[in-house]
């Protein structure tokens, strides 16, 4: 079975946690809806991108050292198209980013995709129709590598597994690891309402985790990826 692997990087990333309201906190990795949007942008698709990649599965992990960075954003209340900088209503919102650990480095993610027409998708990622972003439009992303990958999709594995893991599918865990656990959206409606969510576990450095895992995986000669979507 063929899949597609690519590496995307940028100066900053922000993937808003869907359950936050008074602050804009970020996930450490792009959730599946973000990856579907990124692939849709590469192909030049409109709202139909969500349906095009509705059944796609993803493996994703950090591929470079990173850290959380907090910045306060000052939002103004604008009425009737008028902008008044003095005396107007405003609120300050904590805005969290994923940033490179070293100032001159980049945030970097390795992603595998099991989806439609990997050849066309590879060409689109190399020459995207629309700019690619690691979340918001100002966090532009750059594709660094695109390669096909052969493997077998199956259920369950015991050993070292890469990528985000579904928490409920973990039945055993061994060895040291820095694991980050959070609730992620898997699918969104057109109005961005979550249709499916799951608790995912991410190894902060992107290292494989020694685990007994009962979820979907993609077994390759180079390693085993957990699949979510």
Domain ranges for the chain: 2-75+89-226
- Cβ atoms of 64 and 100 closer than 8 Å: yes
In 90-163, beta strands by DSSP E:
90-100, 107-114, 142-150, 152-161
Question: What is the block-wise mean pLDDT of the chain (229 residues), using blocks of 10 residues?
Answer: 96 94 91 96 94 95 96 72 60 90 94 94 96 95 96 96 97 90 93 91 96 97 96
To the question of domain 2-75+89-226 being in CATH 3.60.110.10, the answer is: no
C-alpha 58/C-alpha 121 separation (Å) is: 14
All residues at 6 or more sequence positions from 127 whose CB lies less than 8 Å from its CB, including other chains: none
pLDDT at 20: 86
- Look at the pTM and tell me if it is higher than 0.85: yes
Helix (H) / strand (E) element for 39: namely helix 32-43
pLDDT of residue 176: 81
Buried b (16+ CB within 10 A) or exposed e, 68-81: eeeeeeeeeeeeee
Q: Please give the helix or strand (H or E) that residue 118 lies within, else none.
A: helix 118-126
pLDDT of 17 reads 95
Helix (H), strand (E) at residue 122: helix 118-126
Cα gap 58→112, rounded to integer Å: 6
């Amino acid at each position: 079975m063929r899949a597609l692997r690519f590496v995307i990087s940028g100066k900053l990333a922000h993937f808003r946690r869907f359950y936050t309201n008074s602050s804009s906190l970020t996930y450490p990795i792009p959730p599946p809806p973000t990856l579907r949007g990124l692939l849709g942008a590469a192909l030049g698709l409109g709202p139909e991108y969500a349906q095009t990649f509705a059944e796609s599965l993803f493996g994703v992990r950090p591929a470079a050292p990173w850290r959380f960075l907090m910045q306060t954003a000052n939002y103004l209340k604008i009425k009737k198209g008028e902008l008044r900088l003095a005396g107007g209503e405003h609120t300050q919102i904590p805005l969290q980013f994923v940033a490179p650990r070293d100032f001159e480095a980049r945030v970097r993610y390795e992603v595998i995709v099991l989806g439609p027409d990997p050849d066309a998708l590879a060409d689109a990622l190399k020459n995207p129709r629309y700019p690619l972003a690691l979340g918001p439009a100002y966090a532009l992303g750059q594709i660094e590598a695109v390669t096909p990958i052969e493997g077998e999709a199956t259920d369950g594995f015991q050993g070292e597994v890469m990528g985000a893991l579904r928490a409920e599918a973990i039945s055993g865990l061994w060895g040291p690891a820095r694991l980050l656990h959070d609730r992620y959206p898997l699918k969104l409606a057109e109005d961005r309402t979550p249709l499916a969510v799951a608790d995912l576990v991410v190894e902060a450095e992107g290292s494989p985790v020694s685990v007994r895992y009962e979820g979907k995986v993609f077994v390759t000669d180079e390693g085993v990826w957990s699949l979510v979507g």
